[in-house]
Structure 1
Amino acid sequence: MDAEATDPGLLKKHSVFKSYTVSSTGFTYPSLRVFFRPHPQRDKLPTEPSPIPLLVFIHGLGGSVAQFHPILTSLVNVADCLALDLPGCGLSAFEPKAWEAYTTDALVQLLGTVIQDHRDAGSGQDVVLIGHSMGCSLATLLASLTSPYTEVLSKHVAGLIAICPKAAPPSAEETAKFRKLLWIPGMIFDLWRRWDRRGGTESASVARFTGPDAEEETKKLQVKFNEQSRTPVWRRMASGILPDYSEGVPKGGIPGRDIWAGLQVPVFLIAGEADHVTPAEELKRIAEFLGKDVSEPTDDGDTDTDGDIVPDAAAPFDIGKIESHHAHSKESHEHLMALKEETTALDGEPSPSTAQHPDAEATAPISSRPERHLILKTTILPSPAAHALLYAPTTSRTISGLIQSFLAEHIDKRLSLGWQLQYLTTEGKWDVKNLAKWQAVTPVSGPIAGVFRAMKTLREVDEHHSPKVFVRVWKGKIRAVIDISHDNPVYDYRGLEEGGIAYYKFPTVSKLPPTVDEIKSFISLVDGLRSKEGSPTAQSAGGGTKESNVPTADGDQESEGLIGVHCHYGFNRTGFFIVCYMVERLGYRLQDALDEFERRRPPGIRHGHFVDTLFVRYCVGLKRAPTL
């Protein structure tokens, strides 16, 4: 089946085929697949002092736009998004055929032309470059102030995110050997590639990118991407990234120390511990290029194999170290790893964070453009994360969540989906439109994990879901209600308490995932309620429900004395808190907890950025290295 037939719907809907002539090189590329999805609410978002930045995605050698699809599904709701199948890659035509049209120089100039064609230059729109593998090198050449292509785009680059980056070009000896490899006739080279693919998902060609312990779905995707990679295109691009050592120093090709050192924007480096194509140690080298003194001890004193003290950013993930700091069982620990983060600008003051809940001023339009300076943030995802971590189901949502956090914290707070949702909420909570929506929502869910029921908020004057009716229907089945809505409730909670159902106010802000501290407080509150004498679901704070909480004959669970939780509708914030409790206290795997919540409260958590945040916190057990 060809690539176009298997293209995801999002890419099909927002892709066009365009011809571009690059004036600086003279090459014409007659049919390039360009994916461009404007922000669905771009006309309603503030444009002063400039529009929200354009996100540009750049794939690597042999890659395609399709490799970004898992994270594009989330990021297209945050900003305008642009991606390009480089010539001969993905769905783009293999035209022209000249080798010079595929050099690093030619590709950087082509990218600059396509980006300028989509950037709102008249309004001063900036761009954020997001690269994978070789795409990181192309992005760095576009962003660096010491790049030979600085006039192409660099003054408009607001940030750089490099996934599986290469720090420097190969040595003169390595380059010479690689050039000899490329002298092999194309037919023989293609036969070698076919031999390398023997075994399908278990082939050496797949294992090289996914790692041997990857899940089957990742391996299948890698087979597809390997088959789409054309040998003549691969050879031309591989030749084009090699530097010229004729004068003793590398010239051209992928960037090294001098180019990386010219970055003066926020930079986020992401790597996989099991990546053997671009090893995680590359992050250490890039950190050195950017001026980080790796001889300085970090807070936890991680050391590399040579005994030199290096930042977490450079040290491979050590699962044993992390386990020694947390009193979780091994089984539980696989689904709950600590996240550690420090944020410091290299040239001075800490960078302000906007990831936490904003106050009333947080959604106000920005009055002036933020001053750009270098911030370095690094993350290494633990094994089995490898070169395919961008599109592997086990890591792609985590990558998406990390990127969203970085965009909002260090580049532009308006790149937070939560900020945008709050900004766009101009109507009252209970006008006719919202009331109609509220009335269409099921009042109370089925029992969830033998502990909870998700609810929509009560309304004092409603004939079906008021405190008086609620007590009559649910007394003895729900023993307490936790109200996590931010505003005063639109019902008199005393009606619950007078009827024998306890009420607890736990205010949180809508549209934004709850913070780590809020989760801790919520868990403590629920632990306290469950440990009260006489609770049918009482347990110790360490987790483990009593055997009485088992499914009944009809597949439901006993629901005596459960805890009701509600925000406005009982899906997003409510689901987030409940799922966190299920993971941290009840030993659920994250995906199982999400599935259980969706089954009991369909359609489950609706906001994609809430789910992304959950994956960042729980699913992969990643190690967040300090920001330098």
Structure 2
Amino acid sequence: MTLQLLKSFFVYDELEQSILSDYGDPPLILKHSTIRNFAISPTLSLKLRVFQSPHPKGHKLPSLPLIFLIHGLGGQLNQFQYLIDNFSHFSEVLAIDLPGHGRSEFKSDWRIYEPDHLVKVLETVLLACVPESGREVVLVGHSMGCILASKLANRLGIRCVGLVGICPPGGTPEDKKKVQDLQRILSYTPAVIFNMFRAVDRAGGLYSKSVSRMVSPATASDELRVKQLRWNLQVNTHAWIRTAYSLRTPTRQEWHDLDMPVYMIGAEDDQVTSPANIEVIRSWLGPKSLDIEHTIIHDAGHACIIEKPEVICGLISDFVSKSIDVKLSLGWQLAFLASKMDKWSLKNEDKWRRVQSVSTRLEGTFFRGMKTLRQDDEIHSPARLEEAYPDITDVIDISREAPPYDPTTFQRIRYHKFPTVSKLPPTREEVKAFINLVDNEILAAHKQEDNEKEIVIAVHCHYGFNRTGFFLCCYMIERLGFSIKRALQAFQDARNPGIKHSHFIDELHVRYEL
């Protein structure tokens, strides 16, 4: 045994001290987190860290289900930082650090960490934070959080309208045996000895077994590994042992009894809970989940919620809006709010005027992004566009409404109407039709005329950011061989700040990464 390893049993090394100097709370979690005292039973109260963020436009919308996030063994609510950021745009979000985890209080009583008692803790927090009786809830669990979510869902009954399980354990016999073998070891391992195991396990820092077990070894960045190492270091050994020893996976009947849509997500490189659990659990689910497609994420490990956040957010957003409630869609909510507003009100027109009229040309393409024109506007009229941008040969108008300008007044530019719905990412069929318009109509027409002038196509919706950026990114990815990252960056460089709505970006990752 080396001196350095022996020293690690008692003190943190320089890297570990540096990482632990920052607890790692993102700003949004810091803003909406509190430590509150909850009476779990007449004889037990616990101080728990709770994150609860209100829907920023909730008072203007119909009643919406709450999203309740439940972390896994040794985890904490920080691990949901990307999901929290995503969900907070279209729902009220609730999450907690379980007893002895994160910043929540540790108590030595082993009974506190039994699954049924942890479910009681979750239910107590939910009732205290969301006092409206009957308020609908969508549960999202990661790892052991899937076990607790399934049990809580059955207790909530009709109040729970959907469940998402990310990396669920305990489906296959091999996974169950892994849990049982661990529990046998824990039954005779004192905490001081277990801490020595932990020190050995984290030898190697960012590339230790403790970190590499949680992430995909091929794709995980050092930034991601720092996050994972910080969470590993913050684990309370006593709470971990008690929780792991008491762990009991749901039975086949408990999964079958879930009377709501259930969606499972696994990770291809998961070394903690096998992705094979997904198919087994799926076969046990009740009739409301029979037609729901479950997903295995490639190039991701057990920490897929931070490795592939855009994909995870996109998949869950699709599930909750399509299988649970269409109102849990940022696109639906934006459209609902927009229907009550005048697009050309004084306030909105002022916002429109401040937006860049036409972008620079997207690097490596023949596209420009732009906002819509107005017929009698000295700065933003068709005539002014032709004068200021002599390179533009064609305009594609993707707004649904008739344009606020007369396309027939173009003298040189060719106008193409391609109506799409605002606030929602274009469908796969719309993207296919857009590409067909560009390739088989616009480019083909210029080629047929043997026009030697370089072709430049300007695309616009109202402001020219979200739908416009989405279509252009899809074209760059499908026809020009761009990666998702490069396509998004090319659009942002040309038309800052790029695609604004996160659900458009998430949808790009879902379509082109899976």
Give yes or no for contact 1:4–1:91 (8 Å, CA) kept in 2: no
Name the CA shift for 1:118/1:537 in 2 (closer, same or farther; >3 Å): farther
The two structures have a TM-score, normalised by structure 1, of: 0.75
Q: Distance in 2 between matches of 1:280 and 1:125?
A: 33
Paired residue type of 1:175: Q
2:318 alignment counterpart: 405
Could you tell me which of 79, 90, 94 is aligned with 2:91? 79
Could you tell me which of 129, 137, 154 is aligned with 1:127? 137
Matched, 1:478 2:381: no
What is the CA deviation profile of residues 405-451 of structure 1, one whole-angstrom value per residue up to 9, with x for unaligned ones? 11011111100111101111111211211111111111110001331
Q: Cα offset for 1:4?
A: 6.4
Give yes or no for contact 1:196–1:205 (8 Å, CA) kept in 2: yes
Secondary structure in structure 2 of the residue aligned to 1:121 = coil
Give yes or no for contact 2:186–2:241 (8 Å, CA) kept in 1: no
What is the CA deviation profile of residues 438-469 of structure 1, one whole-angstrom value per residue up to 9, with x for unaligned ones? 11111110001331011110101110110111
Q: Cα offset for 1:34?
A: 0.2
Paired residue type of 1:196: D
Give yes or no for contact 1:270–1:379 (8 Å, CA) kept in 2: yes
Give yes or no for contact 2:397–2:419 (8 Å, CA) kept in 1: yes
Give yes or no for contact 1:458–1:467 (8 Å, CA) kept in 2: yes
Where in structure 2 are the equivalents of 1:112-511 lying within 5 Å? 112-122=123-133, 124-144=134-154, 150=155, 153-168=156-171, 175=180, 178-216=183-221, 217-241=223-247, 253-290=248-285, 346=287, 373-375=288-290, 377-392=292-307, 395-425=308-338, 426-448=340-362, 449-475=364-390, 477-496=391-410, 499-511=411-423
What is the CA deviation profile of residues 117-157 of structure 1, one whole-angstrom value per residue up to 9, with x for unaligned ones? 122424x311010000000000001112xxxxx3xx23311
Name the CA shift for 1:375/1:114 in 2 (closer, same or farther; >3 Å): farther
Q: Cα offset for 1:277?
A: 1.2
1:43 alignment counterpart: 59
Q: Cα offset for 1:471?
A: 1.6
1:360 alignment counterpart: none
Matched, 1:563 2:457: yes
What is the CA deviation profile of residues 596-623 of structure 1, one whole-angstrom value per residue up to 9, with x for unaligned ones? 11011001011111111111111x2x2x
What is the CA deviation profile of residues 262-303 of structure 1, one whole-angstrom value per residue up to 9, with x for unaligned ones? 111000000011112111110121122226xxxxxxxxxxxx
Matched, 1:105 2:116: yes
1:526 alignment counterpart: 438
2:16 alignment counterpart: none
Name the CA shift for 1:225/1:532 in 2 (closer, same or farther; >3 Å): same
Q: Work out which structure has the larger RCO, using CA pairs closer than 8 Å and 6 or more positions apart in sequence.
A: 1
Give yes or no for contact 2:271–2:301 (8 Å, CA) kept in 1: yes
Q: Cα offset for 1:172?
A: 7.9
Paired residue type of 1:27: L
Name the CA shift for 1:176/1:472 in 2 (closer, same or farther; >3 Å): closer
Name the CA shift for 1:218/1:289 in 2 (closer, same or farther; >3 Å): same
Q: Distance in 2 between matches of 1:605 and 1:176?
A: 49
Matched, 1:57 2:50: no
1:599 alignment counterpart: 493
Give yes or no for contact 1:483–1:565 (8 Å, CA) kept in 2: yes
Paired residue type of 1:429: K
What is the CA deviation profile of residues 68-94 of structure 1, one whole-angstrom value per residue up to 9, with x for unaligned ones? 101211111111100001112112222
Q: Cα offset for 1:224?
A: 1.5
Q: Distance in 1 between matches of 2:509 and 2:471?
A: 14
1:300 alignment counterpart: none
Name the CA shift for 1:126/1:438 in 2 (closer, same or farther; >3 Å): same
Name the CA shift for 1:171/1:280 in 2 (closer, same or farther; >3 Å): closer
The two structures have a TM-score, normalised by structure 2, of: 0.91
Q: Distance in 2 between matches of 1:526 and 1:506?
A: 11
Q: Distance in 1 between matches of 2:206 and 2:22?
A: 21
Q: Distance in 1 between matches of 2:21 and 2:128?
A: 26
2:48 alignment counterpart: 32
Q: Distance in 2 between matches of 1:466 and 1:536?
A: 28
Displaced runs of 4 or more, over 6 A: 535-538
Q: Cα offset for 1:530?
A: 2.4
What is the CA deviation profile of residues 96-128 of structure 1, one whole-angstrom value per residue up to 9, with x for unaligned ones? 221111111211100000011122424x31101
Q: Distance in 2 between matches of 1:106 and 1:288?
A: 28
Name the CA shift for 1:599/1:74 in 2 (closer, same or farther; >3 Å): same
What is the CA deviation profile of residues 365-406 of structure 1, one whole-angstrom value per residue up to 9, with x for unaligned ones? xxxxxxxx44553433343221110111xx111110111111
Paired residue type of 2:34: V
Paired residue type of 1:97: S
Name the CA shift for 1:177/1:376 in 2 (closer, same or farther; >3 Å): same
Name the CA shift for 1:597/1:114 in 2 (closer, same or farther; >3 Å): same
Q: Distance in 2 between matches of 1:381 and 1:574?
A: 30
Give yes or no for contact 2:263–2:289 (8 Å, CA) kept in 1: no
Q: Distance in 1 between matches of 2:468 and 2:176?
A: 55
State the aligned residue count. Answer: 490
Matched, 1:7 2:2: no
Q: Which runs of 5+ in 2 are unaligned?
A: 1-18
Give yes or no for contact 1:270–1:378 (8 Å, CA) kept in 2: no
Name the CA shift for 1:430/1:171 in 2 (closer, same or farther; >3 Å): closer
What is the CA deviation profile of residues 460-511 of structure 1, one whole-angstrom value per residue up to 9, with x for unaligned ones? 1110110111122223x00000000111000000111xx1110000011111
Secondary structure in structure 1 of the residue aligned to 2:482 = coil
Q: Distance in 1 between matches of 2:450 and 2:140?
A: 47
Give yes or no for contact 2:186–2:245 (8 Å, CA) kept in 1: no
Give yes or no for contact 1:536–1:561 (8 Å, CA) kept in 2: no
Q: Which runs of 5+ in 1 are unaligned?
A: 145-149, 242-252, 292-345, 347-372, 539-547, 549-558, 623-628
Secondary structure in structure 2 of the residue aligned to 1:428 = coil
| Larger CA deviation: 409-418 vs 111-120 | 111-120
Paired residue type of 1:565: V
Paired residue type of 2:88: V
Q: Cα offset for 1:205?
A: 1.2
Secondary structure in structure 2 of the residue aligned to 1:82 = strand
Give yes or no for contact 1:390–1:399 (8 Å, CA) kept in 2: yes
Q: Distance in 2 between matches of 1:200 and 1:182?
A: 28
2:3 alignment counterpart: none
Could you tell me which of 34, 37, 42 is aligned with 1:19? 37
Give yes or no for contact 1:206–1:222 (8 Å, CA) kept in 2: yes
Give yes or no for contact 2:275–2:296 (8 Å, CA) kept in 1: no
Q: Cα offset for 1:211?
A: 3.0
Q: Cα offset for 1:203?
A: 1.1
